[in-house]
Amino acid sequence: MNTYSLVDPELQPLLKNYVDFKLEYSALLALREQRQAAALGAMELNDGLKLSVTEKLISGLPGEPEVRLLIIAPPADSKLRMGILHLHGGGYIFGSPEQSLSLTRSTAAEQDCVVISVDYRLAPESPFPAALNDSYAALIWMSEHAGELGISRQHIGVMGDSAGAGLAAALALYVRDRGGPALAFQNLMFPMLDDRTVLETDPNPVTGEFVWTREANNYAWNAYLTGERLPQIHSEQAWTKTESARVKHSKNAAGGENVSIYAAPSRATELSGLPPAWLSVGTIDLFFDENMEYARRLARGGVALELNVYPGAFHGFSGSSDAEIARRARADRQRSLSSFKPR
């Protein structure tokens, strides 16, 4: 179904020049380099915000490699601020803290808070649970060093977009179940929550046409869950018989029976006891159905929830600088974050 007519009119120009990225492993490596180079170049621009951006290497979990962080902070003073652990998007296969600096810097400035962005390991080179382990290590370090960072330990929350939001939801589950620093909130923008979406037999006909498609979702989930470096998956014919059999019959592959709730939070059967959640999604985003279902179950689990739905918005729409609906989504996020600041 062609859903272009459903796109918010102010978002439609973004699709005119949009080029789908080619999800083959060699192309993925090139995409990572291109986006990182562009992000590093943008760091040289002066946005006028009085913030420090500091790189920090911390110890990973036992037996795991070091984790790189970017710490974005206002000028230090005697007061303790809210701390936000930020997890970038990119389908678990690309992205970096530098590529999210527009969000993390604006958030640190608007909320007068400290944002710590995690350069977690990416799939397929480092499949689940590498990203979760890195994020958990970062949260522990952030809590243990809260005082020197100028952070109130009781006001630490987690924030992410897309895969980063899915990882944030997974971290909230992990902390609840395994113990660790308590989270004050989870701020989730169009989270990637459910690997089973790739196997839908009756998919929503108005979602997933733009930006993050079913094909991209299939590739990314299997890269994250299995570490497979498969070619682009446009159809069954795009696979070799060996690749198809290996992934489809893996119990750890997308839709498999052994997928952990800490990889795909929608698989969790019990959502009570989680921190307050802000969740937002557009009506034509591929993740619309899974996000609405997760929100419903959060509410049924007694979790304080704010749900924002944006008509005619596709995946990643909030990055638009001009569309009113994108500005509204960013304002809604910041309003929610402000409610968790120390008083």
* Tens of pLDDT, residues 112-121: 999 999 999 9
pLDDT for residue 20:
78
Whether the pLDDT of residue 222 is over 80: the answer is: yes
Whether the pLDDT of residue 243 is over 70: the answer is: no
* Tens of pLDDT, residues 42-98: 876 667 788 999 999 999 999 999 999 999 999 989 999 999 999 999 999 999 999
Query: Would you say 105 and 53 are in contact if contact means Cβ atoms under 8 Å apart?
Result: yes
pLDDT for residue 239:
41
* Tens of pLDDT, residues 265-296: 999 999 999 999 999 999 999 999 999 999 99
Residue boundaries of the structural domains of the chain: 4-338
- Mean pLDDT of the region 252-272: 96
Give the separation between CA 143 and CA 145, rounded to whole angstroms. 5
pLDDT for residue 229:
78
Q: Which residues contact 310 (CB under 8 A, 6 or more apart)?
A: 8, 280, 281, 282, 283, 317, 325, 328, 329
Distance of CA 191 to the CA centre of its chain: 6
* Tens of pLDDT, residues 12-44: 999 988 877 777 899 899 999 999 999 998 876
Burial classification of residue 231, based on how many CB atoms lie within 10 Å of its CB (0-12 exposed, 13-18 middle, 19 or more buried): middle
pLDDT grade, residue 140 (50/70/90)? very high
Give the separation between CA 184 and CA 179, rounded to whole angstroms. 14
Token pair in block for residue 152: 């109130």
Give the separation between CA 21 and CA 333, rounded to whole angstroms. 28
pLDDT for residue 102:
95
Pick from 174-183, 241-250, 319-328 the range whose average pLDDT is largest. Answer: 174-183
Token pair in block for residue 63: 């037996």
pLDDT for residue 248:
55
pLDDT for residue 175:
98
- Mean pLDDT of the region 225-254: 61
Please tell me the CATH code under which domain 4-338 is placed: 3.40.50.1820
Q: Which residues contact 285 (CB under 8 A, 6 or more apart)?
A: 190, 207, 208, 212, 291, 313, 314, 315, 317
Q: What percent of the chain has pLDDT over 90?
A: 83
